[in-house]
Amino acid sequence: MEIITETTTEAWKKALKYVFKNGKDFEDNNRICREILNLTIKIKQPEKDITGPIEVLNSFKKWVYPPLEEIKNIITSKNLAPVYSYIYGPRIFNYRSKIDQIEDFIIPLLKGTKESRRAVVTLWDPEQDSNIYNKGVPGLITLDFKLRKNRLNVTAVIRSNDLFFGWPANIFQIYSLQELIIKKLDCLPGSITIFSTSIHIFKDQFEDIKKVLEGS
């Protein structure tokens, strides 16, 4: 299944509606999880309202969603944050304390070969993550960058994606990284596509999801 929209909020709401209506339920750590496998969401102009879903969540005023700068730092900061079991930044900018995947690879690659199909960032580290006893492993697995017609398009693969509460942060993080690279390449923003191998919502979110969809 592929959902294609112009804006971020529209994509989120369409995906919520689709998973709510078509997902399959199972019990996950004492929560009822409603899941769709292998869903693609493509946003043509995410920059138009990239914080829209976060603003919707904040409007509920029943939880404290992390501030934008904190969400952004999870993917752009090289430093580990003690409050998180993992963050993406060190895996991107300081992979195994050796490689800055953006500055040392993506930027020079796309500057030298604009149509390259090799501009890939990897976040899954088998040495750390391929361990059945380690549950604190990244959800975001891969980022692929394609520079076409002077626009930087991003495709992300997420293995496990909480659509209601997690996806709004995920899309903002991916956009933040896209924005950083755009400035380095002096190009224009393109689309963002997220392929989730498991995208899901939870039963305890259903009433809030209905309110979001009723406000569409």
- The CATH number of the domain holding residue 161 is 3.30.572.10
Q: What are phi and psi of 24, to 5 degrees?
A: -105, 135
Which residue reads 């690879």 in tokens?
Answer: 105
Q: Measuring CA to CA, which residue among 6, 4, 60, 12 is closest to residue 172?
A: 12
Give the model's pLDDT for residue 148.
97
Residues of the chain with pLDDT under 70: 80-86, 216
**What is the C-alpha separation between 9 and 41, in angstroms, rounded?**
12
State the pTM of this model. 0.93
Give the model's pLDDT for residue 77.
87
DSSP state, 215? T
**What is the C-alpha separation between 108 and 100, in angstroms, rounded?**
12
Q: Measuring CA to CA, which residue among 134, 106, 107, 102 is closest to residue 118?
A: 106
Give the model's pLDDT for residue 85.
55
Alpha helices in the chain (DSSP H): 8-22, 52-59, 68-76, 88-93, 107-112, 126-129, 167-185, 206-214
Give the model's pLDDT for residue 193.
98
Give the model's pLDDT for residue 64.
86
**What is the C-alpha separation between 117 and 74, in angstroms, rounded?**
26
Give the model's pLDDT for residue 78.
82
Give the model's pLDDT for residue 184.
96
Structure tokens at 212: 């979001």
Domain that holds residue 68: 2-214
Give the model's pLDDT for residue 215.
74
Number of domains comprising the chain: 1
**What is the C-alpha separation between 76 and 69, in angstroms, rounded?**
10
